[in-house]
Each structure stands twice: as C-alpha cells, then as structure tokens.
Amino acid sequence: MLQTDNLTFRYKKEGQIFKFPNIALDENENLLILGKSGIGKTTFLHLLAGLLSPTDGKVVIDDVSINLLFQSKLDTFRGQKIGLVFQKNYAVKSLSVLENLYARLFFSKKTIDNDEIDKLLEQLGIKDSKNSKIHELSEGQLQRLGIALSVIHKPKIILADEPTSSLDDENCKVVIELLKNQAERTHANLIVITHDQRIKTFFQNSITL
Amino acid sequence: MNIWKISIQNLKSKPLYTFLSILILSLSIMLLLSVQQLKISFKNQIDSNLGKIDLVIGAKGSPLQLILASVLHLDNPTGNISYHEAEKISKSSFVKLAVPISYGDNYEKYRIIGTTKEYLSIYNAELQNGDVIKKPMEVILGNTVAKQLNFKIGDTFLSSHGLKENDIDLHADKLTVVGILKPTKKVIDRLIITNLESIWNVHKHEDEIDEDNEIHTEHHPQKTHDLNREITSLLISFKSPRALLTFPRKINKETNMQAALPKYELHKLYEYTNIGFQTISWIAYLILLISGMIIFISLYKMVKERAFDLALLRTYGASNLQLIKMVIYEGITIVFFAFIIGFIFVKTALYFIFKIVKNYYHHNILQELSFNEVLQTGGLVLIMMFLSISLATYPIIKMNISTILSNEK
C-alpha cells in the first residue's frame, strides 16, 4: 500500500541533508515513527503526503509513484488517498463543522453521504456541534473534528503529525484509540509521527529516526 | 458545497471588511455615474435649447449674458433694442427666421416673454390644448408652468414687474391663459408666452402714468410710439451658414447693438463648467483607485491571514486554481453588490439633485444615461477590480503548503 525508497530531502542547496529509512506497509498495517525534535519528522510526513518533493528517492502509494504526478493530479490524489491530522487541529474558520466536512468531500471529489457524516460525528462524539462555527468548538471537539476531516473521505493512508503532544494522558489515549478505530474502519494505514513516548504501547510497528 | 459557497462564507465571516469594500466601491461608482449623468444632462440641455437659433441680437454688453438671458432664460437681459431696428434686420435676405422676444415680467418666478408665434417653431413646440394667441393679454403656458401652477385654459393672473417674484410691483392688467404646450424637455416648458403687444401694453400704461405724473407733457402721436417700441433681443436663424461669417460683424460694427453666437458662447460656458466636472471626475477616479486598493488589501489580507486555511484546503485536494477561483469569486461578489448599491445611490442622489435644480430653475433637466456610457464606467471599474483581485491571488501561486503547515505551532 505504501512504500518509500531511499527518500532524501534537502531544504536548500547547502542545507542539511535528511535521509529517511525505507518503509513498506501492507493493508491495515499501522506505523509509529518516533524521533526527537529537529530530526525531520514533519519533513518526512510532508514527503509522504506529497506536500514536499524529495531531492532523491520516491514514495509509492497504491502503486502510484506520487512524485511523478503533475501538481494538479497530485492535489487530487492527495485529496482522495491521504488524510492528514495535525498537532493543533485546524479547520477552515469561516465554515461550520458540517460545511468543513462538505468542503473536504467536495475537494476530494467524493459524494456527500449525510448518514455517513452523522455516523462518524456520532462515533467521535461531536454530532451535537455539527452546525457550530469553528471558533465555538473546544480544543477537544476541534481535535475530534480534525480526525473526522482526516477520515471522512475514506483515505488509504492517515498521516498524523504529533497528534497527542499537547494532550494529557487520558486524552492522549482517547485520540490514539479514535485514530486507530477510524483507520481500521476505513481500511487505511495509520502513520503517526511523534516524539511522544507515551503512545509507543499502542503500536506494534515502530521505527525511530 | 462548492467554491461559491465557500467564498460567500468567507465574506460573511468578515462582515466589516466586506461592508467597507462594497460601500467604498459603490460610492465611487455612484460618483462616476453621477458626474457623467450631470455632464451629459448639462450639455444636452445647452444643445437642445439652442433649437434653430444661429444668432442673437441684443443690446451691447456681455455676449454670454445676452445668450443666457435670451436663449436659456437664466440671466438678466443686457438691455433693450429698438423694435424698429430689429425689424429692419429681420428683412435681410440672409435671414430665414427672425423672432423678437421681449422681457419684463414674471409670474411666480416664471418668466413672461412677449414674442411672435414663430417662437414655438424654434423648439418644435405644439399645443397640448387650447389655442394660439389672437389678441394682447392672452398667454400660452409651457408644460411645466401649467403643471406647477395648476393652471387651466381660461384662468387669469396678474404679472409682477421684473424677473423676480414680488407682490408689491404688480401690474394691473390681467393675463388670460388660452393655451398649454406639450412637454418638450426644453426651456420653453418653463416659460409663459404672450405676444409683444401684451408686454408693450402693460408697460405703456405705466410709462404714460409715469410721464403724466412726472413730466406732464403732451400725448405722443402713435407713429412716434411705434418707433420707440423696444424688445429685448432678436433670435435669428439663417438661410445658409455662410451668413455667420459676415452678418454678426456687420451688426457689431454698424449698429449700436451686439450680435452674439449662441453656439460659441455656450461652448465657452460649457468649457468653464467642464473644469468643475473634470475635478469631480478626478476625485471619482481617485476614490475608485482607493476602493480598488481596499478590495486588494481585504482580499490579500484574507489570503495571508488564512494561509493555513488555504493550505488545509490544498491537503483536502483543492488545486491552486480552485483557491484562486475562491478569491476571485469573493471579489466578484463584492463588485456585484457594489454595482447594485452604486446604481441605487446614483438614482437616489440624482433624484434629489434634480429635485433641487427643478425647484431652483423650475425645470427638469434630467437626461438618462445611455447604455454605452454606463458600460464605459462599468468597464473601467471592472478593469480596476480585475487588477486588485489578480494582485491579491498572487500569494496563492507562491504559496508553500509544507512551510505553512510546519509553522502551525
């Protein structure tokens, strides 16, 4: 499902060279990537998501070498196959919860299924806030919306960048469980990149950068 | 969900900026259209009121004043000329039509002019109802006068002396309305027309009374009186434009009267006023420029401040082009509403301006803007907006999603 080969990245010509280990994930396999700050965790994640182009090497998702895609094709591909979760969860501020989900589906060219959306919001416990504006949500609700936005379009890969670093132990556990459940439900690979040692126990596969 | 809806939501989420952008743009559209409309109305008013008048002959003085008084009926006349002299000129072989006019009185600020029946033909004016003037002390009313004063055929009134309304200096002779003209949208709409004799009669009595009181001399014989008869000016239409070259010079040189060319004088007047219109136009253009900048800043700010939102949309699968469309749609929405509000502003503002003008001049000079002129202003506004919006979308093209998303913390 996901493979990387000899991924290398360099920010500027004279900049530091990041070399990343090769990874290969089969369907339903999850991966925890651990690493200290500044080691290029986010860079690795952005390379996997096609947000950055590698200086060398390649990323293959669903048998497609994403680095060979044209920009607009890559945008569509990313929109359909990848779900991103950020450390601090954001959604488009001018839209409501529901409108954010609609926009998510619109841009990934997926049809809107209101039952599906309700079910997902129910599972994440934010169904009551579905017409709320983003600024009306609490941190926890926002975190859940972030998860909802990363899975609503049934991606092949969920990439989470430090999803738990600002959470207490209890919420940390809740968020990881939610992410794992959603990944399982949608048959997606879950890749979590973090320096947070607490979540080691939730994953069978892990690598350290 | 589509891009339009997102754009509208974006606008709704920053109501103050949206409101300000729409307001200032509509204001500049209003100014541009108003200036254009006033300018065109003014020019049209001047052009249409010339009718077929090629030359105006009157007492010596300012030629512009003579034209303003005799053609546009705005200023006071320069003085009087001898009717006898005027008649001699009328008989010249160059002259196709010569219409004498005589001023002196008003009723409720509407000027009463004594003239001949040819005066109506200058403006192609026709009777709406009633009849032509057959004897002295009968009057025909311009359409506006009849409407404003609510006069009907057969009504009578007393004129007051001079061109300003007053209750003290009333003439004793009653004037009777015999006809009302159809509206022409020209100056004749606000005039009260009578024959020359009516004016002479009204003033003759007074002259006689004055003379009786002051000098107590013998009665003038009829013949001398005819020679002493005066008119304010003579409006002339030539058979051929060639006469314009020689005729005015001859009058100015050989008589104690002056000949003024209305086209030339009014063109000069139009040039003077044009400076004012130019200034307002430049102010309007400046405001348009500022409104373009405000719209640019508002959109640019949106793009910069919401860089993370835009990057997020990119991770949702949105392409650069879709994000650019989003900003463009926001701009278009602002421009669209500004046009509608601007248009309503123009109509309201002009309604009040013309109401004031009408009260002052007793005349409606509103001239509708042609589609072409609206299109011209619209085109200019659209070019300006196109520039502002294009500039605002530039950061999207240069956007680096990875950097924006990495800097979230």
Please answer yes or no on whether A108 and B317 come within 8 Å at the CB atom: yes
Q: What is the pLDDT of residue A89?
A: 65
Q: Which residues of chain B have a Cβ shorter than 8 Å from any chain A Cβ?
A: 1-2, 5-6, 9-10, 12-14, 306, 308-309, 312-322, 401-402, 405-406, 408-409
Q: What is the pLDDT of residue B56?
A: 92
Q: What is the pLDDT of residue B147?
A: 87
* B171 and B253 belong to one structural domain: yes
* B74 and B120 belong to one structural domain: yes
Structural domain ending residue among the three candidates B260, B288, B312: B260
Per residue in B143-182, pLDDT (tens digit) is: 888 888 889 899 998 888 776 666 666 777 788 999 999 9
pLDDT for residue B212 is more than 90: no
> pLDDT band at residue B234, thresholds of 50, 70 and 90?
very high
The answer to whether A153 touches A82, Cβ cutoff 8 Å, is: no
Q: What is the pLDDT of residue A159?
A: 93
- Asked whether residue B7 is domain-assigned, the answer is yes
* B35 and B65 belong to one structural domain: no
Which structural domain range is residue B98 located in?
55-260
- Asked whether residue B231 is domain-assigned, the answer is yes
pLDDT for residue B211 is more than 60: no
Q: What is the pLDDT of residue A103?
A: 92
Please answer yes or no on whether A103 and B313 come within 8 Å at the CB atom: yes
* B252 and B280 belong to one structural domain: no
* B393 and B355 belong to one structural domain: yes
- Asked whether residue B267 is domain-assigned, the answer is no
Per residue in B7-66, pLDDT (tens digit) is: 999 889 888 888 988 988 888 888 888 888 777 877 777 777 777 888 999 999 889 889
Please answer yes or no on whether B312 and A90 come within 8 Å at the CB atom: yes
pLDDT for residue B354 is more than 90: no
Residue type, A124: L
* B235 and B277 belong to one structural domain: no
Write the residue in A86, A90, A107 that is nearest to B317 by C-beta: A107
> pLDDT band at residue B358, thresholds of 50, 70 and 90?
low
pTM flag (> 0.90): no
Total number of domains in chain A: 1
CATH number of the domain to which A147 belongs: 3.40.50.300
Task: Output the CA torsion A169→A175→A177→A178 (10° steps).
Answer: 160
* B330 and B304 belong to one structural domain: yes
* B66 and B185 belong to one structural domain: yes
The answer to whether B194 touches B113, Cβ cutoff 8 Å, is: yes
pLDDT for residue B301 is more than 90: no
* B315 and B179 belong to one structural domain: no
* B309 and B234 belong to one structural domain: no
Q: Which residues of chain A have a Cβ shorter than 8 Å from any chain B Cβ?
A: 42-43, 46, 49, 51-52, 71-72, 75-76, 78-80, 82, 84, 86-88, 90-95, 99, 102-109, 112, 149
CA A111 to chain centre: 21
- Asked whether residue B16 is domain-assigned, the answer is yes
Q: What is the mean pLDDT of chain B?
A: 82
> pLDDT band at residue B339, thresholds of 50, 70 and 90?
confident
Q: Which residues in chain A are contacts of B317 at CB distance < 8 A? A: 75-76, 78-80, 107-109
Dihedral of CA A83/A85/A86/A89: which sign?
positive
Q: What is the pLDDT of residue B235?
A: 92
Structural domain ending residue among the three candidates B260, B283, B313: B260
* B229 and B295 belong to one structural domain: no
The interface pTM score, or ipTM, of the predicted complex is 0.89
More confident call, B224 vs B304: B304
- Asked whether residue B268 is domain-assigned, the answer is no
Q: Who's near B109: CB < 8 A, 6+ residues apart?
A: B164, B165, B362
Q: What is the pLDDT of residue B178?
A: 93
Total number of domains in chain B: 2
Structural domain ending residue among the three candidates B260, B295, B320: B260
pLDDT for residue B362 is more than 60: no
pLDDT for residue A21 is more than 80: yes
Scanning every residue of chain B, which has its alpha carbon at the shortest distance from the alpha carbon of A80? B317
Which structural domain range is residue A49 located in?
2-208
- Asked whether residue B32 is domain-assigned, the answer is yes
Q: Which residues in chain B are contacts of A112 at CB distance < 8 A? A: 1
Per residue in A105-116, pLDDT (tens digit) is: 999 888 888 998
DSSP state of A67: G
- Asked whether residue B265 is domain-assigned, the answer is no
pLDDT for residue B213 is more than 60: no
* B289 and B396 belong to one structural domain: yes
User: Where in A37-135 does DSSP place strands (E)?
Assistant: 56-61, 64-65, 82-85
State the average pLDDT over residues B278-291: 84
Nearest to B128 by CA among B75, B180, B84: B180
Please answer yes or no on whether B402 and A112 come within 8 Å at the CB atom: no
